[in-house]
Amino acid sequence: MQTIISAQGLTKIYRVANNAVPALVDVDLNVARGEFCCIVGTSGSGKSTLLYLLAGIEQPSRGSITILGERIDRMNQSQLVRFRRDNVGFVFQAFNLMPTMSAQQNVALPLSLKGIGGFERNLKARRMLKTVGLEQHLKHRPAQLSGGQQQRVSIARALITSPDIIFADEPTGNLDTQTGEDIVKLLADEVRRHGKTLVMVTHDIEKAKYADQIIHIRDGRVGTVEMNQHREEEYHEQTV
Ligand SMILES: Nc1ncnc2c1ncn2[C@@H]1O[C@H](COP(=O)(O)OP(=O)(O)OP(=O)(O)O)[C@@H](O)[C@H]1O
Ligand SMILES: [Mg+2]
């Protein structure tokens, strides 16, 4: 299996006033191409920090990160922006939608950054919003949507460019059990059907049941790592 994401000795120390806050300490991990990896841990354990580092949104204090064969910890800001635009979809815990844009415009935004024209952009955004059950809310702005609906817009935005790697930070945190289950299935489906790699953060171990690998984080360090072999066998059974 080809490793698509690899981190060694990953450490992030935030400075708050005169205090050093070690959010992540000496994390090693490997994620294979086509894998669904779950990061599980309690509040404040460093899950979002880890995802930000892996996606190149924040720079590590120490350690290396190799994604798709490239050392992203050595990239400058403009290289990182390009790298993210071309390879990564990110679902933020706090959505980070543009408040003045409609749902459709928010979802179409990453296509616009890739220079794709208005007609194709809107068509694709409409289809993607339909997939997440929001075809009736294309013109709504974030403030006119519920938390769960904003979360689904944010997921649609992350998937619109069909990125190789999807990072999702608590993508079901604001959803009821059924909608949350549907969203995890939708994300897992991207992985199984389209060969994407998904790294999903959750505090809810129940949500990790579809994962191939479960990484437990505690106080900024990796605890147990569970490999779920049968997922792959099940998948093969379904496809042959
Ligand atoms: N920008 C920041 N500046 C200073 N400290 C930070 C910053 N971001 C996170 N931290 C600290 O790093 C630690 C890990 O935070 P992080 O957001 O990664 O946790 P988490 O596991 O995602 O928690 P949650 O489940 O509540 O989202 C916490 O102690 C937090 O206070
Ligand atoms: Mg978090």
Q: Residue 142 domain-assigned?
A: no
Strand order in the sheet with 88-91: 88-91, 165-169, 197-202, 36-40, 213-218, 221-227
CATH number of the structural domain spanning residue 190: 3.40.50.300
Q: Residue 129 domain-assigned?
A: no
Q: Residue 67 domain-assigned?
A: yes
Distance CA 46, CA 219 (A): 7
pLDDT confidence of 238, banded at 50, 70, 90?
A: very low
> How much distance in Å is there from the Cα of 125 to the middle of ligand 1?
32
**Which residue owns the Cα nearest ligand 1 atom 29?**
44
Q: Residue 151 domain-assigned?
A: no
Residue 15 alpha carbon, nearest atom of ligand 1: 4
> How much distance in Å is there from the Cα of 121 to the middle of ligand 2?
31
Using the predicted structure, report yes or no on whether residue 157 has a pLDDT greater than 50.
yes
pTM: 0.92
- Cα 230 to Cα 40, 119, 227, 240: the distances in Å are 20, 43, 9, 15
pLDDT tens track for 42-61: 999 999 999 999 999 999 99
Which DSSP category does 211 fall into? -
Contacts of 131 (CB under 8 A, 6+ apart): 156, 159, 186
> How much distance in Å is there from the Cα of 194 to the middle of ligand 2?
27
Q: Name the percent of the chain lying above pLDDT 90.
A: 79
Residue 201 alpha carbon, nearest atom of ligand 1: 22
Instruction: Work out whether the CA dihedral 213, 214, 218, 224 comes out positive or negative.
Output: negative
Q: How many structural domains compose the chain?
A: 1
Burial category of 220 from C-beta neighbours within 10 Å (exposed 0-12, middle 13-18, buried 19 and up): buried
For the residues 130-141, what does the mean pLDDT come to?
A: 96
Triad 202, 208, 212: Cα angle to 5°: 125
Q: Residue 38 domain-assigned?
A: yes
Domain holding 53, by residue range, is 3-96+163-239
By most ligand atoms within 8 Å of CB, the mutation choice from 10, 19, 21 for ligand 1 is 21
> How much distance in Å is there from the Cα of 42 to the middle of ligand 2?
9
Residue 217 alpha carbon, nearest atom of ligand 1: 21
Q: Residue 127 domain-assigned?
A: no
Q: Angle 103-113/118-131 helices, nearest 10 degrees?
A: 130
The SS3 call for residue 178 is: helix
Distance CA 71, CA 50 (A): 16
pLDDT tens track for 63-107: 999 999 999 999 999 999 999 999 999 999 889 999 999 999 999
